[in-house]
Amino acid sequence: MSSDIVSGQYRFFDARVLRSRRLGPTMVRITLGGEQLRAFTSGGRDQSFSLFLPHPGQHAPVLPDRTGEGWFAAWRAVDESERAVMRSYTIRAQRREPDELDVDFALHGDLGPASRWAAGAGPGDRVVLLGPVIEDNRSVGFRPPDDTDWVLLAADETALPAVGGILEWLPPHTRARVFVEVPNAADIQDLDAPAEAEITWLVRESAAPGVDGPLLAAIRAAELPAGTPYAWIAGESGAVRALRRHLVGERGFDRRLVGFSGYWRLGTSEEQLLAEKLAAATG
């Protein structure tokens, strides 16, 4: 995103937690506020952003330089135990007057700094966002072509906020088949959706997330509508990859009409994923 700051798509925003509310046993909604959010401009749908969090004991996230292209190198130069924890999240909702953002965190225990932070966050806690200042920005991935006949959404709980945003954005008569995997039955949410959206909730219970979860099996077994689909898949990387392979390989979906994004990978933190990307880019 560093060059995008210079190109004017994104900037840093200081924000504070206003309130938090449990949506279910493994999901918490954190509402952020602050004067700077007046300029934050979500494109809706699956709008993502980078969230910077303090470590336990710090009163604010440590980000030495926020002025432009140099921020990433400056952030990386600080020791990992000191520099802000950087994670990717989705804008579940944006409101004006007052300027507020809702971010829904899937809680998966204390192993992840973001999950741990979200579970304990309270009013006044400080965060920094790197997010959009224009609606049409590169962090909106859901872009169905005009001639789409129906939409397929497949997600685990980390992409449920994006599914909620997408369903609210879709025109009222869109035909949609939606498959969402959640850890517990009590994590199922009431979503505002077009009348012709059929939502199938899959409860993982004791199964592991990822390829062994029920999402893949349900879509493999599903009878899907005829016509030109646009598919959007997000969640655990292994499951996303397997689903994409199924849609393109076995169902014959046009690969250009299958948007997909690994939101997390079993056994790997977001730092480790970033380190892998950097190594691949430089090696």
By the rule CB under 6 A, 24 interacts with ligand FAD: no
Asked if 241 interacts with ligand FAD (CB under 6 A), we say no
42 part of the interface to ligand FAD, by CB under 6 A: no
Nearer to ligand FAD by Cβ, of 2 and 115: the residue is 115
Question: What is the distance of C-alpha 48 from the center of its chain?
Answer: 6
- Residue 196's nearest CA partner among 225, 219, 227, 234 is 225
CB 247, CB 231: distance < 8 Å = yes
User: How many chain residues bind ligand FAD (CB under 6 A)?
Assistant: 26
Residue facing ligand FAD at closest CB distance? 112
Cβ 256 to ligand FAD shortest distance, Å: 20
Q: Where are the alpha helices (DSSP H) in the chain?
A: 2-7, 71-77, 113-120, 160-169, 214-221, 237-245, 270-282
Residues 6+ apart with CB under 8 A from 217: none
Asked whether the beta carbons of 182 and 203 are under 8 A apart, the reply is yes
Q: Which of residues 80-109 bind ligand FAD (CB under 6 A)?
A: 87-90, 104-106, 108
Q: Mask: binding to ligand FAD, 179-218, rule CB under 6 A, as x and -?
A: ------------------------------x---------
In this chain, which stretch among 76-84, 186-194, 216-224, 260-268 interacts with ligand FAD, using CB under 6 A? 260-268
Using CB under 6 A, pick the residue from 10, 75, 232, 263 that binds ligand FAD: 263
In this chain, which stretch among 57-65, 142-150, 214-222, 256-264 interacts with ligand FAD, using CB under 6 A? 256-264
Minimum CB distance to ligand FAD, residue 135 (Å): 17
Tokens, residue 72: 């990433």
Which residues, 6+ apart, have CB-to-CB distance to 189 below 8 Å? 23, 24, 27, 160, 164
Which one, 79 or 250, has the nearer CB to ligand FAD?
Answer: 79
Among residues 242, 225, 10, the alpha carbon closest in space to that of 128 is found at 10
Position 75 contacts ligand FAD (CB under 6 A): no
Residue 89 contacts residue 106 (beta carbons within 8 Å): no
Kindly tell me which of 14 and 270 has the beta carbon lying closer to ligand FAD.
270
**CA-atom Rg of the chain in angstroms:** 19
Residues engaged in binding ligand FAD (CB under 6 A):
48, 87-90, 104-106, 108, 111-115, 158, 161, 209, 261, 263-270
